[in-house]
Amino acid sequence: MTLVLGVSTTAIAILNQRQGLAEQRFFETLKTAVNESSTSANIYRTPLQIIFQKDNEVLVQIKTAKAITIRKIPIPKSIKLAGGQLVRVAASGFISPQTVKWYALNGELKYLQKFQLGWSGFKIEKKKVTGIYNR
């Protein structure tokens, strides 16, 4: 019995670590895409849209007179959104402050992704989540 409990505890710890790394990689990739796209949008004086598709992917979109550039970042399976959300950055760089809420698989709030005024991007605030597979 002790061996089974030890193996289960170790497996859960490894799974939690992998999920944490996947989530960290996701937010780093998203931050890079938003920063690079923001720079391009600022240079071309064009709006930027960040489209959060529920439990699927995040699209970072710039539309210029000559082309539409879309970057797709898949959302890890260990986190989800309550619903879709659209963040718009005007050609002037103005963005109304807003927060995207990310949830763990058990429905508890896990991350707050806070967008700041102007071209400053976003920051992530991690919340404590209880329950197995959701740390």
What are the tens digits of pLDDT across the range 87-127? 999 988 888 899 999 999 888 999 999 998 766 689 999 98
What mean pLDDT value characterizes the chain?
85
> Based on the structure, what is the number of domains in the chain?
1
pTM of the entire predicted model: 0.82
Write out the residue range of the structural domain in which residue 19 sits: 2-126
For residue 101, tell me if it sits in a domain. Answer: yes
For residue 135, tell me if it sits in a domain. Answer: no
Secondary element (H or E) of residue 94: none
Distance in angstroms (rounded) separating the CA atoms of residues 21 and 39 = 27
pLDDT score, position 1: 56
Token pair for 112? 């707050």
What are the tens digits of pLDDT across the range 51-80? 999 879 999 999 988 899 999 999 999 999
For residue 51, tell me if it sits in a domain. Answer: yes
For residue 61, tell me if it sits in a domain. Answer: yes
For residue 113, tell me if it sits in a domain. Answer: yes
For residue 98, tell me if it sits in a domain. Answer: yes
CATH (domain of 14): 3.55.40
**Is the pLDDT at 14 greater than 70, yes or no?**
no
